[in-house]
Amino acid sequence: MPGNTVSSSRDRRPVFLNLAQIALPVGALASIAHRVAGVLLAIGIPLGVYALDLSLQGPQGFARMAAALEGLPSRAAVVVMAWALAHHLLAGVRHLLMDIDVGSRLPEARRSAWMVNAAGLAVALLAAVTAW
């Protein structure tokens, strides 16, 4: 079959897609962090609802919730969630502004991406200082 050689060489077509070797511009960094933060926040939804449930059930529940927030793992979780919320919210505002054509040119978009990335980390730092 004459088509055979074609299809077999087609099968042997590698694709270069090594993410470690492809440049990650600052906007892409803000974007992937936006997604990671979003997934973290989604995981946090049931935890947050549980905390709300507990805190409203009665004085013991409220105290238990307050006490649970004291432990080291939960403080670390609070810091991570503070970063996730801050980054996701700020990156979201950046996109909302771009939707109405504010800051959607490349130089401004690069600058706002830097600002969002830095502000997210700054909030995490602030949360860490407050939590300890």
Partner 1 sequence: MVKRGPSGWLAWIVQRASALYMLAFLVAGLLWFLVDPPGSHPAWRARMAGAGTGIATAAFFAALLAHAWVGLRDVVLDYVRPRSLCGPVLAGLGLGLVAVAAWVLRILVTVRT
Partner 2 sequence: MRLSIFRFDPDRDERPYMQDFEIELAPTDRMLLDVILRIRTLDDSLAVRKSCREGVCGSDAMNINGRNGLACVTPVAGLAEPVVLRPLPGFPVIRDLVVDMTRFFAQYDSIKPYLQNDEPPTGKERLQSPRDRARLDGLYECILCACCTSQCPSYWWNPEKFVGPAGLLQACRFIVDSRDRATAQRLDDLDDAYRLFRCRTIMNCTEVCPKGLAPSRAIEAIRSAMTRRPR
* Residues binding partner 2 (CB under 8 A): 9-10, 12-17, 21-23, 25, 27-28, 31, 35, 95, 98-99, 101, 104-106, 109
Integer Cα distance of 118 and 39 in angstroms: 20
**Whose CA is closest to 82, among 130, 42, 33, 120?**
120
When binding is defined by CB under 8 A, the residue of 7, 24, 28, 35 that contacts partner 1 is 35
Indicate the helix (H) or strand (E) that contains 58.
Answer: none
| Closest CB to partner 2 among residues 17, 72 | 17
Integer Cα distance of 81 and 95 in angstroms: 21
Please list every residue from 40 through 59 that binds partner 1, using CB under 8 A: 41-42, 45-46, 49, 52-53, 55-56, 58-59
Contacting range for partner 1; rule: CB under 8 A; set: 8-16, 39-47, 74-82, 116-124: 39-47
Location of structure tokens 């407050």: 130
Which tokens in the block code for residue 91? 């990156």
As measured in angstroms, the least distance from the Cβ of 26 to partner 1 is: 21
